[in-house]
A and B are shown apart, each in its own frame.
Chain A
């Protein structure tokens, strides 16, 4: 599996994602201070922490949506400014909201998300992804009528399609991706992540779940900041 999709990115020895001395203030207090870490190709960073500990804020910084108050984030040795083109081409971000338009059907939402990601994928292939995440028979239902779990699964379909697409988005930033997912949904999700890591991608996941991944997982507990537990 790995050989088929082997790209320069998998062979590269450069550190993929690097965060240096990050400081993040919310209102008047710092919720993250002096945080540094690196995530290599094929690795997962799992963000833990209580509500309000800054998991979402940290993911948004890694996504380039917001700037840290201090410190920097680098991608393959290149320090990134917020929302630069390199960044946007590398990142796939699933926020804590589902980013679905209530007035669009599941399939329309998926199609639009792919268009925004710059992925050209034929309807037939989209359909197979919807089938994979168990939304095939719900594909023409408006998002407002989908259950929370089904809404989350539209996001999973996006991940599934991203896996097969070229150019590949190597940096996945996922905010509570398993929220509202049932057991089957969770195993589907871990399957997608495993495949992504096998391809040499990076995943940063904010979650409360213990993920069953074969690949090495770096856990970062934001409650006791700046401590990297392996």
Chain B
């Protein structure tokens, strides 16, 4: 039981870097997602399938399809992100690691922020990257595709942020996934409006900057505030 070899040289007691909590949580979730790539691909496949359903339901008339493209892609992105929300916290809740995260020396909001960013990297970012391909199917021009990509890049992080509040509140609740949709979808509406609106404005030949900057503003505000709300929600759900 000689303890000396186990002691590390670095004593971090003072000047302890709280922001490391963000990196610890982020790296952990990113690595976990990398271990289960299947789930990332499934969400993407879901996105593609939902978008492809619309031409089949409405008919292949290209003018009509082009008109509805922004809305279709955005609604599909919203639903794909919704389906992946349980991944942010539910697995950690089930195996007990969420308790360990809550008891971590690092502040919970920072840990939660790291998890949300990791979630976006595994869901929102791939969706945004894939969206131009789907836009092409609907006959969008390159400038419109660019705006669609930009709107998804700014909007999907907000979906991860707001969604994580719902995910935290519904942890371990029966019928959780439908309940989660019920809680989160109404809160997603502004993002949907500004996101799809940006693409529509681009299609109408108007500068989409106003919509995009509104999305950016929501993202900034949400990024600052939501991690704290999620931390509170996690504590409520663990109590």
Contacts and interface: CB of A to CB of B under 8 A. Distances in A.
B172 to A, nearest CB: 13
B100 A102 contact: no
Contact of B239 (A4, A82, A99, A161): A82
Given A65-B238, A83-B235, A97-B95, A163 B6 contact: yes
B24 to A, nearest CB: 5
A164 B3 contact: yes
Interface residues of A, number: 47
A125 B97 contact: no
A63 B104 CA distance: 11
A26 interface: no
B32 A103 contact: yes
Given A101-B97, A118-B16, A122-B8, A91 B3 contact: no
A121 B5 CA distance: 11
A115 B24 contact: yes
Contact of A103 (B3, B12, B36): B36
Contact of B103 (A4, A91, A167): A91
Contacts of B102: 65, 83
Interface residues of B, number: 35
A125 B239 contact: no
B105 A164 contact: no
A191 interface: yes
Interface in A1-56: 1, 4-5
A104 B32 contact: yes
B101 interface: yes
A192 to B, nearest CB: 9
A65 B8 contact: no
Interface in A123-157: 125, 128-129
A88 B99 contact: no
B220 to A, nearest CB: 27
B239 A66 contact: yes
Nearest to A64: B103
A104 B20 CA distance: 21
B32 A117 contact: no
Interface string B83-100: 000000000000111011
B103 A129 contact: no
B28 interface: yes
A166 interface: yes
B235 A93 contact: no
User: Of A65, A85, A103, A116, which is in contact with the most chain B CB atoms at under 10 Å from its CB?
Assistant: A116
B33 to A, nearest CB: 10
A120 B12 contact: yes
A128 B28 CA distance: 23
Contacts of A82: 235, 239
Nearest to B34: A103
Contacts of A85: 105, 107
B6 A164 contact: yes
B7 A1 contact: no
Given A120-B8, A122-B8, A166 B99 contact: no
A212 interface: no
A98 interface: yes
A226 B239 CA distance: 22
Interface in B42-58: none
A99 B100 contact: yes
B105 A129 contact: no
A191 B103 contact: no
Given A99-B100, A116-B100, A66 B6 contact: no
Contact of A118 (B3, B7, B106): B106
Nearest to B14: A167
18 contacts: A5-B3, A66-B238, A88-B105, A95-B99, A102-B95, A104-B31, A104-B35, A118-B16, A120-B8, A125-B6, A128-B5, A128-B6, A163-B3, A163-B6, A164-B3, A164-B4, A165-B6, A167-B11
Interface of B: 1, 3-8, 10-13, 16, 20, 24, 28, 31-32, 35-36, 95-97, 99-108, 235, 238-239
Given A1-B1, A115-B28, 7 more contacts: A1-B3, A63-B103, A98-B95, A112-B28, A125-B8, A164-B6, A165-B7
